[in-house]
Amino acid sequence: MEKRQQSLEFEITSIVEKFLKAIEEKEIQVISHFDTDGITSATIMIQTLQELDKKFSVKIVKSLDKELIENLSKDKITIFLDLASNSLNHIKDAQLSNTFIIDHHEISQEIPENINIINPELNGNQKLSGSCLTYLFCKKINSKNKKFAKLAILGMIGDMLEKEIDTLNNGILDDGEIQRKRGILIYPSTRPLNRTLEFCSNPYIPEVTGNIKGVLELLRETGLGPVNKKYKSLLELNEEEMEKLVTAIMLRNPKSKSREIIGDIFLIKMFNKLEDARELSAMINACSRLGRSDIAIQFCMEIPQIKKKAESIHAKYKQLILSGLKFISETEKIQEPGFVIINAQDNIKDTMIGTMASILSRSSLYEEGTVVVAMSYYENNIKVSARRVGKNGRNVREILSRVMCGIQGEVGGHACAAGCVLKKEQEQEFINTLRKHLEIEVIKV
């Protein structure tokens, strides 16, 4: 694929002009991904189109496939958010008349002439989330849309790109009036420590996550017991208390480094209260992954009566994560130097298998460079999520693409996090081929 070397700002300006002209007389269909990045992207676009007084529909999807694309209306303007960079051939074949894509995933196909695409891969490969790109697009439509900047930051954090926030030279952080503090990267930083540690999965803390006895032992050990029957929050700790907590966590997580668990905590004002951005991001993600993308979008729009519903769904989701981690710890895995394959079948929801793979890839369970592949059933399909442990190692998207060459299925993602979907009857063929490719890669390395 030949990359067009124009600045991202120029590309956005040019495509905004085409978009505004295209939607003058036609209805719009918005198709967005169902994770936090996709939900925040959709919310920014929904509110922008509402203010333009345009007719539109919204569809939130787990993934794109040929059939879904073929069934889209050909008479409407189609805009894909946080997906479609790897579905260009399907879009071309479906003959969608006027298509716009705002996405940040890798592109492996030629870009057809009738597709307008905004993707940092084409403009120097700046690491931006789909929500940040959607925000810049909508801000170009109307400068008043800078009020949606906090949603762009939530999408960045949802896609684990918070360490790239300082590279943003487009003022998104300032537009969103985001507060930043240094601290331990467990969340929520605004809630009592005992609850925060019990449900902490990023980082996963052995003998503490999901274990209230382990939590209380750690807090006793660090002298952070309750005061007037109430535990402090992370943000309330002084420097000495923070150091003791970091030491205790690292003793239980010996492969972790202090620079990995200490960093920037971003505080965002939602529902008239300052909240930990990672907690808000996780709540949006939980709602959508448990089938309530409608609640996730309304939460992003700060509709007051939705907040309690979202919190209830998130509580259920956290319990499912803990039970999923327990299942993974006890189940038989295909594990060799350099990779581990976990076939959860019906034991973990397909909408959560990517989250589980991410948690494992950030834990101290596996060496740097290990490829973690997790699989889960849904209907007659299998959802596969692959993650790379650490910054260095193999490109998991390329590995999945090679494996799927002989198997009909969709692959998408990045070098460190990718996924694919296949039919259940291809399960054993996929595992055998995947294992063969991973073993070859280990020998090469």
pLDDT score of 218 more than 90:
yes
| Domains with residue ranges and CATH for the chain | 8-150 (3.90.1640.30), 179-322 (no CATH), 331-444 (3.10.310.40)
pLDDT score of 344 more than 60:
yes
Over residues 390-417, the pLDDT tens digits come to: 888 899 999 999 999 878 777 888 888 9
The tokens for 311 are 């919190």
Over residues 68-89, the pLDDT tens digits come to: 999 999 999 999 999 988 889 8
* Average pLDDT value for residue range 428-441: 90
7/336: higher pLDDT: 336
Asked if 303 and 287 touch (Cβ cutoff 8 Å), the reply is: no
pLDDT bucket at 362, cuts 50 / 70 / 90: confident
The pLDDT of residue 164: 67
pLDDT score of 433 more than 90:
yes
* Average pLDDT value for residue range 104-132: 85
Q: What is the mean pLDDT of the chain?
A: 89
- State the pTM of this model: 0.83
Maximum distance among all Cα pairs of the chain, rounded to whole angstroms: 66
Chain-centroid distance of CA 277 in Å reads 13
* Average pLDDT value for residue range 36-52: 97
pLDDT score of 444 more than 60:
no
The tokens for 224 are 């952070």
pLDDT score of 27 more than 60:
yes
What is the distance between the alpha carbons of residues 173 and 156, in angstroms, rounded to a whole number?
A: 11
The region that residue 143 occupies, defined by phi over 0 for left and psi between -120 and 50 for alpha, beta otherwise, is alpha
pLDDT bucket at 2, cuts 50 / 70 / 90: very low
| Residues 258-264: contacts with CB under 8 Å, at least 24 apart | 260/185, 260/203, 261/184, 261/185, 261/186, 261/203, 262/182, 262/183, 262/184, 262/185, 263/162, 263/163, 263/182, 263/183, 263/185, 264/162, 264/165, 264/180, 264/181, 264/182
pLDDT bucket at 5, cuts 50 / 70 / 90: very low
* Average pLDDT value for residue range 371-393: 93
The pLDDT of residue 300: 98
The pLDDT of residue 109: 84
The pLDDT of residue 442: 59
Over residues 123-173, the pLDDT tens digits come to: 776 778 899 999 999 999 999 999 999 999 999 888 766 666 665 545 787
Asked if 238 and 176 touch (Cβ cutoff 8 Å), the reply is: no
Asked if 16 and 141 touch (Cβ cutoff 8 Å), the reply is: yes
Over residues 275-302, the pLDDT tens digits come to: 999 999 999 999 999 999 999 999 999 9
What is the distance between the alpha carbons of residues 119 and 1, in angstroms, rounded to a whole number?
A: 13
The tokens for 5 are 């070397």
Asked if 91 and 84 touch (Cβ cutoff 8 Å), the reply is: yes
pLDDT score of 4 more than 60:
no
* Average pLDDT value for residue range 319-336: 93
Q: Which of 52, 53, 71, 51 has the alpha carbon at shortest distance from 61?
A: 71
pLDDT score of 32 more than 50:
yes
Over residues 239-252, the pLDDT tens digits come to: 899 889 988 888 88
3-state secondary structure the chain: CCCCCCCHHHHHHHHHHHHHHHCCCCCEEEEEECCHHHHHHHHHHHHHHHHCCCCEEEEEECCCCHHHHHCCCCCCEEEEECCCCCCHHHHHHHCCCEEEEECCCCCCCCCCCCEEEECHHHCCCCCCCHHHHHHHHHHHHCHHHHHHHHHHHHHHHHCCCHHHHHHCCCCHHHHCCCEEEEEECCCCCCCEHHHHHHCCECCECCCCCCCHHHHHHHHHHCCCCCECCECCEHHHCCHHHHHHHHHHHHHHCCCCCHHHHEEEEEEEEECCEEEEHHHHHHHHHHHHHCCCHHHHHHHHCCCHHHHHHHHHHHHHHHHHHHHHHHHHHHCCCEEECCEEEEECCCCCCCCCHHHHHHHHHCCCCCCCCCEEEEEEEECCEEEEEEEECCCCCCCHHHHHHHHHHHCCCEEEECCCEEEEEEEHHHHHHHHHHHHHHHHHHHHHC
Q: Half-sphere exposure (CA, 13 Å, Cβ side) for 393?
A: 26
